[in-house]
Amino acid sequence: MTSTLAGLLRTELPIILGPFGGLSSVELTSTVSNGGGLGSYGLYGYTAQRIRETDELLKGATDRSFAFNLWLPSDEERDPSPTDFARARAAVAEIFAELELPLPERPERYLPPFDEQIEAVLECAPAAVSFVYGVPAASVIHRAHALGTTVIGTATTVDEAIALQAGGVDVIVATGSEAAGHRVSFLESAEQSLVGTFALVPQVVDAVSVPVVAAGGIADRRGVAAAFALGADGVQVGTAFLRTRQSAASDAHRRAIDETLAHGTVLTRAMSGRLARGAPNRATRLIEAANAIAPFPAQNWITGQFRAEAGRRGIGDLQSLWLGQAGRIAKFDDAVALLNELRLGL
C-alpha cells in the first residue's frame, strides 16, 4: 500500500507536509515536494485570485506534486449576535489598545465563499487536494478525479474514516489528538473525538480499504517507523516542519515549539472558536478568563486582526502558537535535513 500511496500522490516518498492554515509558505511546500514528499499548502481564508497566484508561484518553484488544502463549511459555523460579537471584541480590547490598533468593526463576511475556493483549486488541478472538517461533495470528488487530482480526507475517529471512504476519497489522514492546530472532527464534537495516534491509526487501517496516512506526534524517524508498524501507508508531519526556517512561522513560534513540554500544550477555542492544540500564552488566558468566545469563524476573524500585527512585531504572547505534543522532538532547522531524517524511518 505504501507504493500505492506514492503512486496516488505521484511522489517518491509516502511523506506529506501537514498543511498550515495561515502558516504555509511556497518555500516549504516546494522544498518538501522537490525532496520527494508531498508538499501541502493550506488555503484557509484565501480568495480565488490568491489561490491562483499561489498556484503559479508553486509551479514556478517545483515541477513535482503538491497538494492544496481546504476547510469544508460545516454546521458548526454561525454568525454571532451583535451582543456576542461585542463581548468577544471587548474581551481583547486591551490587546488592541496595546498594539495601538482600532477595535475592528463587524465585517460583511468572515471568509471567502467555499464554492469560489474550490472552483479556483480545480482550475489549478493540483496533484492532490485535501479537506478537513467533513466529507467533500460527490460532485467535487468526481471533478477532481476527472482532472487526475487525488482527493485526501481527514479523520479524527474511526467513524469519520468510514464516512470518508463511503464518500469516495482516495486517501485518509488519521490525525491523532497529539497533533498541532485545529481538531478537525466533524461527526461528533472535537472534545468527544480525542483519540491518540497510537490507538487511532490501527483501528482506521482495519476499518477501511483505502491508504491511511498517520498524523500526530511524528517528528523523526522513530515516529515514521512506529506509524508503519501500526499499519499506516504514509505519514503526515506538521510541527517538525513548522519549526524549520522554510516555514512562515515567526521566531517566537519556533521558540515555543522548542520550549513547550508535551503536557504543556493546551486544547483551546480561545483564538478561533474551534478547538485547537498549541502553546498557551497571554492572549489565550485573557480570552478564556473573559469567557466571551464568539463562534467560528467570527472569533478567528476578531483575533486575526491583532495576531497579524503581533506576528509582524514578533510578540509570541499574542499569536496563535499552534504546535503538537512532539514539539520537543523537532530538532531540525532545515526542511531538507528533516525530510532526510524522516526517510530513515521508512
Q: Which run of H or of E encompasses 307?
A: helix 298-313
Q: Quick one: DSSP state of residue 190?
A: G
Distance separating alpha carbons of residues 319 and 296, to the nearest angstrom: 17
Q: Cα–Cα distances in Å, from 309 out to 8, 17, 100, 101, 320?
A: 40, 27, 10, 9, 12
Main-chain phi, psi angles of 268, to 5 degrees: -145, 150
Contact 145, 151 (CB under 8 A): yes
Interatomic CA distance for residues 53 and 58, integer angstroms? 9
User: Tens digit of pLDDT for each residue in 59-90?
Assistant: 999 999 999 999 999 988 889 999 999 999 99
**All three cell numbers of 142:** 468526481
Looking at residues 138-166, what average pLDDT do you find? 98
- The residue among 290, 291, 264, 293 whose CA lies nearest residue 279 is 264
Q: Kindly tell me the burial class for residue 3, based on how many C-beta atoms sit within 10 Å of its own C-beta (0-12, 13-18, 19 or more).
A: exposed
pLDDT score of 147: 97
DSSP state of 38: B
How many Å apart are CA 329 and CA 333, to the nearest integer? 12
Chain-centroid distance of CA 6 in Å reads 21
| Confidence label for 4 from pLDDT (cuts 50, 70 and 90) | confident
Is pLDDT of 2 > 70?
no
Within 13 Å of residue 318, how many CA atoms lie on the same side as its CB?
22
pLDDT at 245: 96
| 298 within 8 A of 79, measured Cβ to Cβ | yes
Is 2-78+111-260+329-343 a CATH 3.20.20.70 domain? yes
pTM of structure: 0.96
Q: What 3-state class would DSSP assign to 181?
A: strand
Percent of the chain residues past pLDDT 90, beyond the cut: 97
Is residue 306 within 8 A of residue 282, CB to CB? The reply is: no
* DSSP structure class, residue 136: -
69 bridge partner residues: 42, 130
Q: Does residue 220 have a pLDDT over 90?
A: yes
Residues 86-125 as b or e (16 or more Cβ within 10 Å = b): ebbbebbeebbeebeeeebeeeeebbbeeeebbebbbebe
- Would you place residue 225 in the very low, low, confident or very high pLDDT band (cuts 50, 70, 90)? very high
Residue type, 57: L
Q: Look at residue 343 and give its three-state secondary structure.
A: helix
Maximum distance among all Cα pairs of the chain, rounded to whole angstroms: 54
Asked if residue 240 lies in contact with residue 330, where contact means CB atoms within 8 angstroms, the answer is: yes
Over residues 232-261, the mean pLDDT reads: 97
Q: What is the mean pLDDT of residues 297-302?
A: 97
Q: What would the pLDDT profile of 27-64 be if each residue is shown by its tens digit?
A: 999 999 999 999 999 999 999 999 999 999 999 999 99
Contact 319, 307 (CB under 8 A): yes
Give the model confidence (pLDDT) of 105-125 as tens digits: 999 999 999 999 999 999 999
Residue 184 phi/psi, 5-degree rounding, is -95, 40
Rounded-to-integer distance, Cα 219 and Cα 337, Å: 12
